[in-house]
Structure 1
Amino acid sequence: MSLARRIPSARPRGFYYSFAQNEQDIDASLALRHRVFIEEMGAPIGQERDALDDFCLHLIVREAATDQAVASTRILTHEAAIAAGGFYSAAEFDIDRVLARPGRFLEIGRTCVAPAFRSGAAIAMLWHGLADLIRADDYDHLIGCASIDLRDGLDRAQAICRDILARQPLPTSRRVVPRQTLPPGSGRLPKSVRLPPLIKAYLRLGARVGGPPCHDPSFGVADVFMHLDVARISPRYARHFLGSDSPAPEPAVRLSA
C-alpha cells in the first residue's frame, strides 16, 4: 500500500484533504493550478504541468459539500527526488549545503488556493495534510520555494526579501545561492511591506530563509528558498502542526510554486 493511501483524509470545518489516487484526481489539481497560475496570475508557461509532476504526491483539499477541489500542493519525497534527479528547488538555487544536513527531506511546491476559498480554512487543511504526512513517515526537513508576485513591483519584492532575511536567515554556512538573481529595481525600497501569507506561515513555524531570491520569469515571481527543520518548529505552532487533530488556522493566501 502506498504511503499516500496509508494516511487518512480529514473532514473538519467543511473541508477535507486527500492524496491523488488516479489521473482524475491529478487533473483536478492541475486544473486548479492552471486557473490560479495562468488565468489569474498570467504566468506565460502554456501548460501548467512539468515532468516532476509524475514523481510527486498531489495533496488536494476539497469542499465537503461539493467535493470541489479548492486547494492543492504537490509534494516531492526524499526518495522520489532521488528518482527524479533532484528537488525542484535545486533548479533555482544551489542547495547542496542544505541537503548536506542529516535526515530526510520533503519538498512542497505549486501550492494554490481557489480565489473564493482564501478565508483560511482551506489552507489550514492543506497544512494539516502536510503535517500528517511528515508524522507518518518521519521527515526531518521541509523545504520549498515561496513566491513573491512581481506584478506589485521589484521594489516591493526586494523590500520583502530584505525584511525576511533580516528576520530569520539560515546560518551563513548553509545559505543557498540563486541561479538567476532578481533585478535590483529602482532602489527606492518601501520602509514597510506586508509579507505574502505563505512566507508568513513558514516564518511562524520557525522556517529559515535560505538567502537572496531567485528570479523566475516563467511565473513572473521572485522565489525565496525556505527551510524548516521539523525538530525546531516553533513551540507555539508545534502542537497544531505535528501533534493535534485540529489544524491551526492560517491566513487566506494566494500561493505560488
Structure 2
Amino acid sequence: MSTRIDGDLPRGPRFEVRFAQTAAEITETQKLRYRIFAGEMGAEIDGGADGLDHDQYDPFCRHLIVREADSGTIVACTRILTGERAPGAGGFYSSTEFDLAMLDSLAGRVMEIGRTCVAPEYRSGAVIATLWQGIASTIVNEGYDYLFGCASIDLRDGGAGAHAILEQLRAQHMAPAWQHVRPYIPLPAADRRARDKVRMPPLLKAYLSLGAKACGEAYWDRDFNCADVFMLLNVSDLNPRYARHFLGQSPTVATGTSAR
C-alpha cells in the first residue's frame, strides 16, 4: 500500500491514493459507481442510460481515487463534500435521507463522504486501507473536526442481516441521543431473523474501526435496496491504533479539481 504525496513521490508496489485531477478521471469514478451500484446491487439510478452514476452533488465534491499502479485502473473511490461547499450543492447528500438538524450543534468543521465503492476484484484489505488512508489524511491535514456519511447494508436477503447488524450497533456503537438523526423512511421489519452470523459491510467496519458512532436508526433506500446508517466520527475520538496505521507518515493527498 502506498500514498502518493503531492503527486511527486514514486508509486508503491501496487496502489496509490489521490484526488481526481481531470474530468476524465471523475467520469471513470462515475463508471465504477454505476458498475457497482446498478450492475451489482441493482440500484435504480437516474441518468443510467449513459452508464454513469452522477448527480447534483458531484460538481461540488472532490473525488478521491485509488489506482492500481501497474494498470492505471481506478479500483476504488469516494467523494468528499465539505461544509464550506455543501450550500452550493443544496446541502449534504445525507440530508436527502435524514433530518440533519443536529449538525448545527457540532462545534467545528465537517465533511461528508459518499458514493464509496471498491471494484469486486479488488476488495482486499490493502485497497480499503489505502482509500481510508486518503480520507483520514484529508481530515487531519485540512483541519476537519467531524467526518460523516451513510454506510449501506445490503437488503437482498430481505433485511434479516441488516437488522442483526443494527442490533450490534445499538448495543455497542451508538452515539449519544443528542447526536441522533431521524430517517425520513425508516427501515421496515424483516420477514425473518438472520440464521447465520452476519458479516459487517467493509465500509461500516472501517467507520467503526476508526471510532465512528451510529447516529440512530437506519434509512430505507428503496432505489439502492439497502439500509443506510448515518455514521459520525469526531476526529478527537479517532482510534489511536488506526490513526497510527492510516497516518503514520502524515501524508498529504495530491489535490485535484472537480469538473463542472
Q: CA deviation at 1:192?
A: 3.9
Aligned to 1:239: 244
TM-score (norm. length: structure 2)? 0.87
- DSSP 3-state at the match of 1:156: helix
Q: Please, which of 167, 188, 199 is the counterpart of residue 194 of structure 1?
A: 199
8 Å contact from structure 1 (residues 169, 210) kept in 2: yes
Q: Please, which of 222, 226, 232 is the counterpart of residue 227 of structure 2?
A: 222
Structure 1: any 5+ residue segments left out of the alignment? Answer: 1-5, 247-257
Q: CA deviation at 1:65?
A: 0.3
**How far apart, CA to CA, are the structure 1 residues paired with 2:40 and 2:196?**
28
Q: Please, which of 82, 94, 99 is the counterpart of residue 94 of structure 1?
A: 99
Q: Does 1:139 align with 2:144?
A: yes
> Which of 1 and 2 has higher RCO (CA within 8 Å, sep 6+)?
2
Moved over 6 A (4+): none
Q: Comparing both structures, which one devotes a greater share of its residues to helix? A: 1
Q: Does 1:85 align with 2:90?
A: yes
TM-score (norm. length: structure 1)? 0.88
- DSSP 3-state at the match of 2:45: coil
- DSSP 3-state at the match of 2:57: helix
- DSSP 3-state at the match of 1:244: coil
**How far apart, CA to CA, are the structure 1 residues paired with 2:6 and 2:230?**
27
Q: CA deviation at 1:191?
A: 7.2
Q: Does 1:75 align with 2:46?
A: no
Structure 2: any 5+ residue segments left out of the alignment? Answer: 252-260
* AA of the residue aligned to 1:231: S
Q: Does 1:27 align with 2:27?
A: yes
8 Å contact from structure 2 (residues 20, 63) kept in 1: yes
Q: Please, which of 56, 62, 65 is the counterpart of residue 60 of structure 1?
A: 65
The C-alpha deviation readout for 1:22-41, integer Å capped at 9, x for no partner, is: 21011110111111111111
8 Å contact from structure 1 (residues 7, 136) kept in 2: no
- DSSP 3-state at the match of 2:232: strand
Q: CA deviation at 1:144?
A: 0.4
The C-alpha deviation readout for 1:26-61, integer Å capped at 9, x for no partner, is: 111011111111111111224211111111000111
- DSSP 3-state at the match of 2:156: helix
- DSSP 3-state at the match of 1:143: strand
- DSSP 3-state at the match of 1:32: helix
8 Å contact from structure 1 (residues 9, 16) kept in 2: no
Aligned to 2:257: none
Q: CA deviation at 1:8?
A: 4.4
The C-alpha deviation readout for 1:173-205, integer Å capped at 9, x for no partner, is: 211110101111225355742211211111111
Q: Name the Cα RMSD after superposition.
A: 1.9
Percent identical: 50
Q: Does 1:44 align with 2:41?
A: no
